[in-house]
Amino acid sequence: MTTRHTADPTPHATAPDLDADAIEAAAERIGNVVVATPLQLSERLSANTGAQVYLKREDLQSVRSYKIRGAYNVMSLLTEAERAAGVVAASAGNHAQGVAYAARTMQIHSRIYVPTNTPKQKRDRIRWHGGDFVELIAVGDTYDAAAAAAQADVLETGATWIHAFDDTRTAAGQGTIAKEIVEQLGVTPDLVVIPVGGGGALAGMVTYLRAHSPEVRIVGVEPTGAVSMSAALVEGGPVTLTDIDPFVDGAAVKRIGALGHRVMADAGATVAQHPDLPPSGTVHRGHEQLPAGATHITHVDEGAICSAMLELYQNEGIIAEPAGALAATVLEDLPIEPGWNVVCLLSGGNNDVSRYGEIIERSLVHRGLKHYFLVDFPQEPGALRRFLDEVLGPDDDVTLFEYVKRNNRETGAALVGVELGAPEGLGPLLARMDASRLKCERLEPGSPAYRYLT
């Protein structure tokens, strides 16, 4: 799953150290531009956990994500010569919006590289924020491919590289989120949950929290299909994942930043078991305990993320992108004690409405409500009616039926999608299929045919 690479070059030779003082200075620097987003109590998540669960609403920034903090902090530190030479950035979408916003505000010309699968909504917002000061270039299908193209641009043109996460100045800007959390909550949080992509926000927030609230528990959350931080901690250094699921586009990073890994390694972070990672002395099997001061990295399934996105929308009216919902998704898996003050970073809300069909589908599959079958129907009148009458339960529904009649054949295969009334209905459905005269084959989750459908 992983291939070790040599260390990345230092993003900026004169970048300052990452510490609490750097984060305090960044807060002063960006204070007139960045929104001090609210810390919102979630009654639903609080009821589910027995704790006081707050959402740090970074989706309410002017660019709908926390990325404006790091981008503006870095660009405000550029010399006049660096500003004149312009800047280059790579992003899955949110960092690009932060750079574009800062570029137009400071009148610095920028070239921004994004993966080709970046949602149209994010591309349009990048152009809107940057105006005449941004040139948008789509290349590759991952952040890492876009970053490689951006680095080549920097070498060729001499522009300044504004890294999305692996720069102490970027991480210091993101670390101001933790400063606001501590100030807004008024007491030391018992647990802070942070989404993990490239590791910039994690590095900045862990640095600040460990300096000011060393007893706080910190959990970083990755999508199961892109566990670059987990892999780095298990392997002892950043590695490049050979294959990732790009669905959680804001956190689908093949290689974690060296800075984020160093901060987490220095914090003694433990790692949840992952089926594609080898056992290690740093691996923590499960979440049975989170002692005070613990730093832990875990992961959640993309389908569970989709369910959390829908719950945030339907219950709180919050439009969260997949990466933005990571922290809220993992709460049910953590040993949260009644009365704790828990803060989840809701990192962004740049979600394209056209994705909701896939989001609903993945959620249904994750919850065990959606299943697909290949059914051999006799090519005779009434065959479909018999399937509906004999096989489907009273609360089941056919959501997909694709069939092509074949001449000179007794049977014809149909692709059938079934949505159950409850997950427990699968066993009885399979039993009725076995008892029927129809030949039915269930498409197994993870198979090529199943991935095509979902």
The CATH number covering residue 443 comes to 3.30.70.260
User: Do both 147 and 207 map to the same domain?
Assistant: no
Q: Encoding tokens for residue 36?
A: 């001090």
Report residue 119: phi and psi, to 5°: -55, 145
CATH number for the domain including 43? 3.40.50.1100
The end-to-end CA distance of the chain, in Å, is 23
Same domain, 84 and 180: no
Query: Which tens digits make up the pLDDT trace of 290-343?
Result: 999 999 999 999 999 999 999 999 999 999 999 999 999 999 999 999 999 999
Cα separation, 446 vs 454, whole angstroms: 10
Cβ atoms of residues 203 and 260 within 8 Å: yes
Report whether 144 contacts 254 (CB < 8 A): yes
**Same domain, residue pair 352 and 287:** yes
Together in a domain, 328 and 410: no
- What average pLDDT score do residues 414-443 get? 92
Residues 6+ apart with CB under 8 A from 175: 18, 22, 23, 26, 201, 203, 204, 205, 207, 208
Q: Please name the amino acid found at residue 322.
A: P
The pLDDT confidence band at residue 118, using thresholds 50, 70 and 90, is confident
Please say which residue of 335, 359, 383 terminates a domain.
359
Give yes or no: residues 157 and 50 share one domain. no
Residues 131, 51, single domain; the answer is no
Q: What is the count of structural domains for the chain? A: 3
Q: Are residues 314 and 372 in the same domain?
A: no
* Cβ(321)–Cβ(349) below 8 Å: yes
Q: Is residue 158 over pLDDT 80? A: yes
Q: What is the rounded distance in angstroms from the CA atom of residue 454 to the CA atom of residue 452?
A: 6
Residue 428 and residue 327 share a domain: no
Triad 334, 336, 337: Cα angle to 5°: 155
Q: How confident is the model at residue 209 (pLDDT cuts 50, 70, 90)?
A: very high
pLDDT of residue 14: 47
Q: Are 319 and 212 within one domain?
A: yes
Task: Report pLDDT for 283.
Answer: 55
DSSP 132: G
Could you tell me where the DSSP H helices lie in 158-279?
168-185, 200-212, 228-235, 258-266
pLDDT digits (tens, 9 = 90+) for 162-194: 999 999 999 999 999 999 999 999 999 999 999
- Of the three residues 113, 143, 161, the one that is the final residue of a domain is 161
Q: Are residues 205 and 288 in the same domain?
A: yes
Query: What residues pair up with 57 in beta bridges, in sequence order?
Result: 346
Query: What is the rounded distance in angstroms from the CA atom of residue 205 to the CA atom of residue 209?
Result: 6
What residue spans of 77-167 are helical by DSSP H? 80-85, 94-106, 120-130, 143-157
Q: Does 281 lie in the same domain as 138? A: no
In whole angstroms, give the CA distance from residue 179 to residue 46. Answer: 23
Q: Mean pLDDT, to the nearest integer, of 375-401?
A: 87
Given a contact cutoff of 8 angstroms between Cβ atoms, the answer to whether 44 and 316 are in contact is: yes
Does 294 lie in the same domain as 183? yes
Candidates 208, 203, 201; CA nearest to 182 is 208
Domain that holds residue 441: 368-453
The pTM (predicted TM-score) of the whole model is 0.90
End residue of a domain, out of 114, 143, 161: 161
pLDDT digits (tens, 9 = 90+) for 234-279: 999 999 999 899 899 889 999 999 999 999 999 999 999 888 888 7
